[in-house]
A and B are shown apart, each in its own frame.
Chain A
């Protein structure tokens, strides 16, 4: 409820949710289903296929990526808090830091892809085991990377428009919801795709 509404004591129905926020939540729920379906299909294949590769011999890169993504969720929240407090400059700085973190994550991810491709991994063949591993790995992590990239672009656009006065703190919060969702998906991708396939 805006300050104006509070001043004139507008009655807000008990179950109302701002339209934009509800729309973002509906999108998040739908996208959750997409990722759940991808991860389930991956689990199905992994369970039903013998000789599943375990190519990940180091956890350094994936742990660094995880740390960066979780930290960007915090910086996003700090930006939203600054926005709600009316400090535009501070909010913009935190949003840009969040976008930078997302860009670093994307860079590390692409670098990891190139390393795996350099080791011989392709969409339907690899030197370690069943060929379908590549397709499942690249499709799941690629879909997540696409969401991260889209999120970085959204953060930049929303952050700049917020500074110019076109968007307000509520819009930052709604963009933040999407960013937290991207982080949330990664929390499931890491154990299922990476940690279950550590080389022993």
Chain B
């Protein structure tokens, strides 16, 4: 059964709130980058966390996944999440190129 239709004014209001939240988070990203102490790992972690929050807001509210079929939500989350996590296997190789194989010495 399709979720009940939300009144038009409530939906538009939600869009504006989400839009403002995403703008503020984007602004925060710029502030974090400009005021960074120089520690790249810390900067990357902070920026990625903020980007992830922005993405979640956009996917759930702009792309209507929150109000849509729950099965679709879980399908998107599980499949996208699995492949994105599986892609991370290559990071150890990038460190090996930079630092060399630990046991080679």
Contact = CB atoms under 8 A, between A and B. Distances in A.
8 contacts: A32-B80, A33-B84, A70-B26, A184-B59, A187-B55, A192-B47, A195-B30, A198-B33
Interface stretch (A59-67, A109-117, A145-153): A59-67
Given A17-B69, A48-B98, A78-B15, A187 B79 contact: no
A191 B62 contact: no
Contacts, number: 126
B95 A1 contact: no
A196 B51 contact: no
B30 A59 contact: yes
Interface in B3-31: 8, 11-12, 15-16, 19, 22-23, 26, 29-30
Q: Which 9 residue pairs of A and B lie closest in terms of their CB atoms, listed nearest first?
A: A191-B47, A195-B33, A48-B97, A15-B71, A48-B94, A47-B94, A74-B19, A44-B94, A180-B62
Contact of A173 (B1, B23, B40, B64): B64
Interface string A32-53: 1100110010011101101000
A73 B98 contact: no
Contacts of A198: 33-34
Given A29-B79, A59-B30, A187-B22, 10 more contacts: A36-B83, A40-B88, A48-B95, A59-B34, A70-B23, A73-B19, A73-B22, A81-B12, A81-B15, A196-B43
> Interface size for chain B: under 10, 10 to 19, 20 to 34, or 35 or more residues?
35 or more
User: What is the interface of chain B mostly: helix, strand, loop, or mixed?
Assistant: helix
B53 to A, nearest CB: 10
Contacts of B38: 200
Contacts of A50: 98
Interface string B32-48: 11100010100110011
Nearest to B74: A15
Contact of A25 (B40, B72, B94): B72
A44 B26 contact: no
